Structures are given as C-alpha cells and as structure tokens.
Amino acid sequence: MVIMDELQMLVIALGYVVAFVAGRWTAMRSALLTNLAGAVSDGIDKIEDVTGIDIPDDLEDKIEDAVDDLAEDVIDKVEDVAEDVVEAVENAESIEDAVESVKDVIDVAVDDLEDLTVAGLKERLEELGLSTKGRKADLIARIKEHVEGSL
C-alpha cells in the first residue's frame, strides 16, 4: 500500500507541474500576442518595401485583426487542452488512470489536426523531426502515430 501512496503523490506532483506550466503559459499569452502583432506589422512593412506597393491602412488593419483572431483561437485551444490535462491528472486515482485520461485529452487535441492546412501540418512534422512527404491524410496519420508512440 505504501507504493500506491507514492504513486498517488507522483500523480499529484505531475498535476502541479502541469498546472504551473499552464499558469506560465497564461502569463505569457499577452506577450505572445504582442510579439505576433509586431511581427505581422513588420511583415506588412517588408512587403511594402519589397513590392513598392503601399498597402492601405484599412487592409493592414484587416490583416492584423485576422491574424490576432487566429492566434487567439490557437491560444484558447492550447489553454483548453492544458486545463483538461490538469483536470485529468488531478482526478486520476492511479498512474494508469492518469495516463489514460491524458491520452483521451490528447486524442481530442489530435482530432484538431484536420483543421490545419497541409503547410501547417508540414510545419508540425518538421518540428517533430518527421518526414513531411505525402498527402494531408498521411501527414495527419504520421503525427498521430508519433503522439501515440510517445505516450
């Protein structure tokens, strides 16, 4: 029974680590959005410099708003998954339960891969050091296999 208590303590400690990381992520959210907005503005300036075409301010605003909305959606999804992982770990009665709960949460997040473009999937594959060749379905399957093999 002592081993079970140690396992439970390990699960609880893991939950606190995940909660800490989620908290740091939330604290960094504002800085991330600010940096992204600056990068988009710089990108628009570079396009204007290279092409010699002045992009109207209202179009610049629409581009920046669209990127901001997309970034907010991505950040919200990351935060939702992090919260789900914390909850799954906190509610688990054993390490096995925790692992299964986290797998369930990750499976839901992996389902969101369908929403990514092929370019976005290839970017994720490059980050994981995996091949970027194939159709969209192949790329999604490769990421899913990697995630499942990592757990």
List, for residues 67-121, the tens digit of each pLDDT value: 888 777 777 777 777 677 667 666 766 556 666 666 665 554 566 777 778 888 8
In a domain, 147, yes or no: no
User: What domain range includes position 59?
Assistant: 2-93
In a domain, 135, yes or no: no
CB 57 within 8 A of CB 41: no
In a domain, 17, yes or no: yes
Write the CA distances from 83 to 18, 19, 24, 106, integer angstroms.
Answer: 9, 8, 13, 12
pLDDT band at 133 (very low <50, low <70, confident <90, very high): very high
In a domain, 111, yes or no: no
In a domain, 144, yes or no: no
